């Protein structure tokens, strides 16, 4: 089904969920005043909703379906708990609304499939937010991989050593639950899991161990993965939300035949080692790519929305649509299956 192009007016946005991540979307929408307009917001918390209503001067809703019925929004932005994304995306599609969903797109594999199929049937776009792909350090690393500067990649490691105190999980009842949230891999480290697939390529198999070591939650606060890619590369990922006092490291290291790179800092915002056989880059060029961060979310939401605008203007295809989102969801679900069944899980999950 041919999707509608919007050329003669602003693209109307409605925001569902006014929690932590919603500010990134609001700011990204504000950054494109000539193309985007926020027309409605929805949240189950009336106090949170009232505060934002006064700030943004938009129509508030406490009922999601009422917002779908009464709002003239073209696009629904889902910043709700992850376990709600599937139902809300499918319902939005029924009302003919396009969908932008925060990570992870769903917490279950079949829910992700259902979202893609529902949006396909309705002829609407499904965008899955992967804003970290737009960060300067990541873009430089992706280009180095795509131009074969590493030659063969041998070993890849990623660490997410962050902290989430019990108070973080206790502020909302859905946090730290299997049904609505997912654990350290599904929630906090989701973008890092995405990068392991997007940067290195399709994964052949995973092994995992996970534990709930210190927080009073259903899901894991700590875990490790072993990964084998179809290319033959091997790797690992270590994740914890128990780092003492503050976020320490969000990193990825790639060791290849002709290059070694480590991106680090609290959230991949520093190039800590950059060395290639071709020796094309100056130290000053690499240093310029480093940037300060105010949060682990990075600064890519505004750039992500630039692609959304171009899609609706008929100038581009979605960079991360529902099918692209399924790739990292498949890896996440495989990791949890490997832990649950105590065995190596081979991808793809379905043949």
Using DSSP's 3-state secondary structure scheme, residue 6 falls into coil
CA nearest to 312, candidates 32, 61, 53: 32
* Mean pLDDT computed over every residue of the chain: 96
pLDDT band at 350 (very low <50, low <70, confident <90, very high): confident
What are the pLDDT digits (tens) for 186-216?
Answer: 999 999 999 999 999 999 999 999 999 999 9
pLDDT at 55 over 70: yes
pLDDT at 1 exceeding the cut of 80: no
For residues 112 and 106, the answer to whether their CB atoms sit within 8 Å is: yes
pLDDT digits (tens, 9 = 90+) for 138-149: 999 999 999 999
What is the predicted pLDDT for the residue at 296? 64
Q: Are 327 and 19 in contact (CB under 8 A)?
A: no
The Cα–Cα gap between 347 and 264 comes to: 28
| Reported pTM | 0.95
Percent of the chain with pLDDT over 70: 97
Judge whether 268 and 135 are in contact, CB under 8 Å. yes
pLDDT at 299 over 80: no
- Output the pLDDT for position 210: 98
Quickly list H helices, the chain: 22-30, 46-56, 64-70, 85-94, 109-122, 136-146, 166-170, 190-200, 283-287, 301-312, 322-341
Lowest mean pLDDT among 1-10, 55-64, 112-121: 1-10
pLDDT for residue 292: 83
Q: pLDDT value at position 4?
A: 82
Q: What is the Cα–Cα distance from 26 to 205, expressed in whole angstroms? A: 38
Burial degree of 246 (CB within 10 A; 0-12, 13-18, 19+): exposed
Checking if the pLDDT of 219 tops 70, the result is: yes
Q: Which tokens belong to 269?
A: 């915002």
pLDDT in tens, 60-71: 999 999 999 999
Region 103-107: mean pLDDT is 97
Mean pLDDT of 14-41: 96
CA angle 150, 230, 267 (to 5 degrees): 55
Q: How far is CA 282 from CA 36, 266, 275, 286, 287, in A?
A: 39, 24, 10, 7, 9
43 in Cβ contact with 49 (< 8 Å):
yes
Residue 3 — pLDDT band, cuts 50, 70, 90? confident
């Amino acid at each position: 089904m041919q999707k509608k192009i919007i050329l003669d007016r602003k693209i109307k946005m409605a925001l569902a969920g006014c929690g932590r991540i919603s500010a990134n979307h609001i700011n990204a929408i504000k950054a494109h005043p000539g193309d985007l307009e926020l027309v409605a917001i929805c949240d189950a918390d009336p106090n949170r909703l009232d505060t934002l209503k006064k700030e943004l001067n938009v129509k508030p809703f406490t009922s999601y379906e009422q917002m779908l019925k009464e709002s003239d929004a073209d696009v629904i932005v889902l910043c709700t708990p992850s376990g709600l994304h599937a139902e809300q995306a499918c319902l939005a599609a029924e009302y003919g609304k396009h969908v932008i969903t925060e990570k992870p797109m769903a917490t279950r594999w079949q829910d992700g499939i259902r979202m893609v199929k529902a949006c396909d049937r309705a002829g609407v776009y499904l965008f899955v937010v992967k804003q970290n792909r737009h960060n300067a350090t990541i873009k430089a690393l992706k280009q180095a991989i795509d131009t074969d500067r590493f030659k063969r990649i041998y070993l890849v490691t990623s660490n997410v050593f962050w902290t989430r105190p019990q108070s973080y999980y206790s502020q909302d009842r859905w946090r730290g639950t299997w049904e609505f949230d997912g654990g350290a891999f599904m929630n906090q480290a989701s973008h890092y899991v995405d990068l392991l697939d997007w940067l290195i390529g399709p994964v052949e198999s995973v092994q995992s161990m996970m534990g709930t070591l210190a927080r009073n939650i259903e899901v894991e606060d700590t875990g490790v993965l072993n990964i084998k890619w179809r290319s033959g590369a091997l790797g690992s990922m270590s994740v914890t939300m128990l780092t003492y006092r503050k976020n320490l490291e969000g990193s990825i290291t790639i060791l290849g035949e002709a290059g070694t790179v480590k991106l680090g800092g609290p959230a991949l915002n520093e190039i800590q080692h950059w060395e290639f056989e071709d020796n094309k880059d100056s130290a000053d060029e690499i240093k310029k790519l480093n940037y300060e961060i105010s949060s682990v979310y990075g600064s890519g939401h505004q750039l992500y929305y630039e692609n959304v605008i171009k899609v609706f203007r008929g100038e581009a295809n979605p960079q991360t649509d529902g099918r692209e989102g399924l790739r990292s969801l498949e890896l996440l679900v495989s990791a949890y299956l490997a832990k649950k069944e105590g065995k190596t899980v081979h991808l793809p999950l379905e043949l």
